[in-house]
Amino acid sequence: MENKKYTIKCPQCGTPIEVVRPAIINVQNDPSYKAKVLTGELFHETCPNCGQEIQVVSRIAYHDMEKRMMIYFRPITSQEELKTFDYEAIRSAIEDNFKAPGYGIRVVTTVNELMEKIKIAEFGLNDGVIEIAKFVYFDIFVKQFDGIGVVNIYYERRDDKNALIFFCDDGNTRSIVIDPKIYASIEKRFSEVVNAIYTSRVCMVGRDWALRMIKAYSKRDHQGADEAEIQPEIKLVTSEEA
């Protein structure tokens, strides 16, 4: 396994800490790393001097040959990184470097997204369907929990069922089990795009993506717009077009 070494400073006491991280994780060659990502252990450092616990994120390519998933983790941890984040450059670099048919190739920018993509693949689900399902269940959630704001929604496996966990602005989490019938109906209705994201296109499949797909389909249904308008490809948008 190819490792990268670099030094950070403890935010508490200033002691230099050497961080050793894999640049590529191949799950089949080193299965223990999957658990290390899923528990967050991989991104965790402890200062040898003062014992401060620090989360240190680093770029990683996560490769699961069996599930045909390649996830590029390109962390954005500051406003500065967000400004300079060049998705098109990342995408073209990946397309030059990684060529394999029938893959789900993703770019994610947070540890939570990375974990979520791995869990979704683990249970044989389609992450495009899950992202669209979040919008469907958000509407249900708002009706049920009137007045409670939602900060984030993540997929989780709960009691052998697929669920969405709502992180709320009152500090609590609430979960809703995904009805298999709703999952199937989303998969059917959005079949073109949810299949296309598993054909080795490089994609960011998140909230923006789902929103664009929902809008594109609804436009097509209501105005008879061209099918050509529906593209599974993603561009990082800072402002959402109507």
- Give the interface with Zn ion as residue ranges (CB under 5 A): 10, 12-13, 15, 47, 49-50, 52
| Cα–Cα nearest to 82, from 107, 109, 105 | 109
Write down the least CB distance from residue 16 to Zn ion, Å. 10
CA 159 to chain centre: 22
Decide whether 48 or 180 has the Cβ nearer to Zn ion: 48
Residue 112: partners with Cβ closer than 8 Å, 6 or more residues away? 152, 154
Gap between the Cα atoms of 207 and 182, Å rounded: 18
Q: What is the token pair recorded at 43? A: 């991104």
Gap between the Cα atoms of 166 and 151, Å rounded: 8
Decide whether 19 or 163 has the Cβ nearer to Zn ion: 19
Decide whether 51 or 149 has the Cβ nearer to Zn ion: 51
Write down the least CB distance from residue 188 to Zn ion, Å. 54
Write down the least CB distance from residue 14 to Zn ion, Å. 7
Write down the least CB distance from residue 198 to Zn ion, Å. 44
Decide whether 31 or 51 has the Cβ nearer to Zn ion: 51
Gap between the Cα atoms of 165 and 104, Å rounded: 23
